[in-house]
Amino acid sequence: MAKDWFKSNNNQNNTEEMSTRIDEPIVDVNDVSHISAGTIVKGEISSLNDIRVDGTVEGKIYSKGRIVVGDRASVTGALLCCNVDLEGKVEGDVYVKDTMSLKGNASVNGNINVRKFQVEMGAQINGTCHMITEADFDKFVADVVTTQVPGSEPVKPAAPAKKD
């Protein structure tokens, strides 16, 4: 009897919770966009998923998840994400909603805007570091990212058709 009560209450909560999130895209935590070593990408990358860069990117990278820049990777352009693990080289500004981890052989030539920051000995930073809030990050994304991913901004209603 107690099991039935728990099941019915638990299902009610799940139904309510699911109905409030129905418009959000479903993201699998195992989905990772990978730019392999030997690959060169020019342009802006926007993703709901995590991104791992082991090649070269010339342009902005925006992820609603984590970005990992491998030890031989090179990024020329802004990075915007929730979390970043940086082992390679970045030339551009970095905007992180939560935590940035700079490994010992990492190099950043640009300004860093972050809430939490971890730096290993040997990492190089040529720029300024600003501690930011989530609201600051959201403003940076609105100002910097030109290609929005699904679920990152409200859907605007279509304009009414003009009458001749």
What tens digit of pLDDT does each residue of 125-148 get?
Answer: 999 999 999 999 999 999 988 887
Most confident region among 6-10, 21-25, 100-104 by mean pLDDT: 100-104
Residue 2's identity, in one-letter code, is A
Asked whether residue 13 is assigned to any structural domain, the reply reads no
How many helices (H) and strands (E) are present in the chain, helices listed first?
Answer: 2, 15
Using a pLDDT cut of 70, give the percent of the chain over it: 73
- In this prediction, residues 74-97 reach a mean pLDDT of 97
Note the pLDDT of residue 164.
52
**10, two tokens:** 């638990």
Owning domain of residue 73: 32-144
Asked whether residue 96 is assigned to any structural domain, the reply reads yes
**159, two tokens:** 């304009």
Asked whether residue 88 is assigned to any structural domain, the reply reads yes
**pLDDT-derived band at 114, boundaries 50, 70, 90:** very high
Give me the residues paired with residue 47 across strands. Answer: 63
pTM, full prediction: 0.74
Residue 6 has pLDDT above 80, yes or no: no
Q: From CA 35, how far away is CA 72, in angstroms rounded? A: 12
Domain count for the chain, please give it: 1
Asked whether residue 158 is assigned to any structural domain, the reply reads no
Q: Name which of 73, 66, 67 is nearest 87 in CA terms.
A: 73
Asked whether residue 56 is assigned to any structural domain, the reply reads yes
Asked whether residue 9 is assigned to any structural domain, the reply reads no
